[in-house]
Amino acid sequence: GAVVSQHPSRVICKSGTSVKIECRSLDFQATTMFWYRQFPKQSLMLMATSNEGSKATYEQGVEKDKFLINHASLTLSTLTVTSAHPEDSSFYICSAYVRNTEAFFGQGTRLTVV
Amino acid sequence: AQSVTQLDSQVPVFEEAPVELRCNYSSSVSVYLFWYVQYPNQGLQLLLKYLSGSTLVKGINGFEAEFNKSQTSFHLRKPSVHISDTAEYFCAVSDRNFNKFYFGSGTKLNVKP
């Protein structure tokens, strides 16, 4: 099946710094990518939808200036957590899909802000 | 909009016993249905999906699920579980354009020896 690669798998950063997470579709072109966040012991919550070549659409309650999403090509979307704080510590997962087929999920990134 | 309800947050079961993880959904449009498994500190792995056709769907690792439109349910079953099945299981729905996935709150399956 199709592969979505997410990098890094784990990252620890200091409070106030920014962290970039990459999501790549390795063997297909993804017109749309999704970013999810998973708090401990909770389900995945959709943060934003990223469309290649256009601005991301953020879900209600998600700060677009804090969670910057860039979808520069059909195979790469990035999520940058700006000025990270300990409450941003979470598990972030990206998903990519091609129209009229299924969605494929990355392996996730565990972000710890200290 | 769609929503997913997983009624059981935790399900303890002994090894080799059968198990059923419940999932109910609500939607005003036709949906696709999915079950994913998540092992600790890992991403999601697709177990099975219902897109159309037979309402009984077989997936990987011996799991199966049955789509019941009248009851808006998509329960996951396995006739005999293994220790290695210990993980968290998420039910999800999407519209038929895969525009968004809506996940249930998850069910932790704990298989005991």
Query: What pLDDT, in 10s, does the model give residues B54-85?
Result: 999 999 999 999 999 999 999 999 999 999 99
Strand partners, A105: A95
Exposure string for B70-99, b = 16+ CB within 10 A, e = fewer: eebbbbbebeebeeebbbbbbbbbbbeebe
Whether A43 and B41 lie within 8 Å, measured CB to CB: no
What residues of B are in contact with residue A42 (Cβ under 8 Å)? 105-106
Q: Tell me the one-letter amino acid at A30.
A: A
- The reply to whether A35 touches chain B by the CB within 8 Å rule is no
Instruction: Share the mean pLDDT of chain B.
Output: 91
Query: In this predicted model, which residue has the larger pLDDT, A40 or A104?
Result: A104
pLDDT single digits (tens) B9-50: 999 999 999 999 999 999 888 889 999 998 887 778 889 999
- The reply to whether B77 touches chain A by the CB within 8 Å rule is no
pLDDT single digits (tens) B2-16: 789 998 999 999 999
Region A60-77: mean pLDDT is 92
Residue of B nearest to A101 (CA): B98
Instruction: Share the mean pLDDT of chain A.
Output: 89
Percentage of chain B surpassing pLDDT 90? 72
Whether A106 and B43 lie within 8 Å, measured CB to CB: yes
Cα–Cα distance for residue pair A57/A50, rounded to 1 Å: 6
Closest residue to A46, CB basis, from B90, B100, B104: B100
